[in-house]
Structure 1
Amino acid sequence: MSISLPPSPDGFIRDALQNRHNQRILQQLPALGLPDVWLVAGCLFQTVWNLRSGNPPEAHIKDYDLFYFDPADLSEAAEARVNARAQSAFSGLGITVEAKNQARVHTWYQDYFGFPYPALRNSRDGIDRFLVTSTCVGLQAGASGLALYAPNGLDELYQGRLSPNPLCPHRPLFEKKAAAYQERWPWLQIQA
């Protein structure tokens, strides 16, 4: 399997789609009818790291995350219903798919992680705040194809640099996350 270097939006999309689960999720995602929905995070950047490492595209990927933004119902029960719909829609893939309403993250984040978190305006705000800057990526399926959102670019992702995100300055959480990534992909470099 090949990986495109230097990174470009089209090259990233080609690399991410080498993971057959990403392909299927993105094909079926519009049918869920979720507002501002994106396939995000590990299933995308970890596919790139797998390709660079010579691993199968799906190796070491624990779950497939969907971000959507629905301010109409911030309840945990509403998010659980959406999550159940997503699990059902993708049950044939044999993977874990988790849907998270970015409109409600600020209601539980501090209790769960111990750090404050601002109310977000859309799903891209959630992508902006991943703990590691190089992992801030998302793909959205639309009528005209796939849209990439990578607010920090793609260079650090392809170079394997793990830097703390100043928009989410929670150092202990960053260190734990970066160490877990480096354990699975030893060539990654943790930046101070």
Structure 2
Amino acid sequence: MRVLRTARDLALPDWLLFSGAVYQRVLNDRTGRDLDYGIKDYDLGYFDPDTSYEAEDAVIRRVAAACQPPLREMVEVRNQARVHLWFEDKFAEAYAPLAHSAEALERFVSPLFAVGVRLEPDDTLTVVAPFGLEDLFALRMRPNPRRPTEGFDRTAASALARWPEIHVVRD
């Protein structure tokens, strides 16, 4: 909630908290683990058409200044409008430009991971889950039907090492 409040208060454009900060807490709750188990960072995505490194760096610095340790070191901020500029070099996989932050969720390795949340000004939560929440609550991991990738098996093995209760389904 501290990360959500901070992002809301900074009024980042088209922002979402996603990845492990969301799905790992659900998996931990569903499997009886401490809610912080396995969480290495908090992925905070936002969308700004200014794709310059300098603009993204300014937002990263703003978020870091607004966070207290240890969150300052754990919040990873990325402009989703820039992902296509570095993704292929890092993951050896093409990545078309995004139109908004929520579109990034459609490209996650598994629907299990494809959940983002935003805290609204009225304290309600907006949940974005393009594949729904069924896989997450059923502890089911399957490949993203919209993104065939060779990385699924490696990602599934990593998830199973932490949550052996997950059921991996290869469609």
Both proteins in one fold, TM over 0.5: yes
Q: Does the 8 Å CA contact 1:44/1:138 hold for their aligned counterparts?
A: yes
Residue in 2 aligned with 1:81? 58
Task: Check the 8 A contact 2:118/2:127 in 1, yes or no.
Answer: yes
Q: Select which of 115, 124, 137 maps to 1:158.
A: 137
Q: Structure 1: which amino acid aligns with 2:160?
A: Q
CA distance in 1, matches of 2:35, 2:10: 25
Q: Which has the higher helix share?
A: 1
Work out whether 1:132 is the aligned partner of 2:90. no
1:10 corresponds to: none
Note if contact 1:87-1:96 (Cα within 8 Å) is conserved in structure 2: no
- CA shift, 1:136, in A, is 0.7
In the alignment, the residues of structure 1 paired with residue 161 and residue 54 of structure 2 have an alpha-carbon distance, to the nearest angstrom, of 35
**Uncovered stretches (5+) of structure 1, i.e. residues with no partner:** 1-22
Matched, 1:103 2:81: yes
- How far did 1:112 drift? 1.2
Q: Does 1:123 align with 2:95?
A: no
Is the 2:21–2:42 Cα contact (8 Å) retained in structure 1? yes
CA contact (8 A) 2:8 2:121 kept: no
Rounded Cα–Cα distance in structure 1 between residues aligned with 2:97 and 2:46: 14
- TM value normalised by structure 2: 0.91
For the residues of structure 2 that align with 1:141 and 1:97, how far apart are their CA atoms? 16
* Whole-angstrom distance in 1 between the partners of 2:138 and 2:78: 28
Normalised to the residue count of structure 1, the TM-score between the two structures is 0.82
Give the aligned residue type for 1:77.
E
Q: How does 1:1-192 map to 2 (within 5 A)?
A: 23-71=1-49, 73-94=50-71, 96-144=74-122, 145-171=124-150, 173-192=151-170
| Identity between Structure 1 and Structure 2 (%) | 39
2 CA distance for matches of 1:90 and 1:101? 18
Does structure 1 conserve the Cα–Cα contact (< 8 Å) formed by 2:88 and 2:95?
A: yes
Letter aligned with residue 141 of structure 2: L
Distance 1:178 1:59 in 2: 17
What amino acid does structure 1 have at the position aligned with 2:138? Q
Gapped regions of structure 2 (runs ≥ 5): none
Runs of 4+ in 1 over 6 A off after TM superposition: none
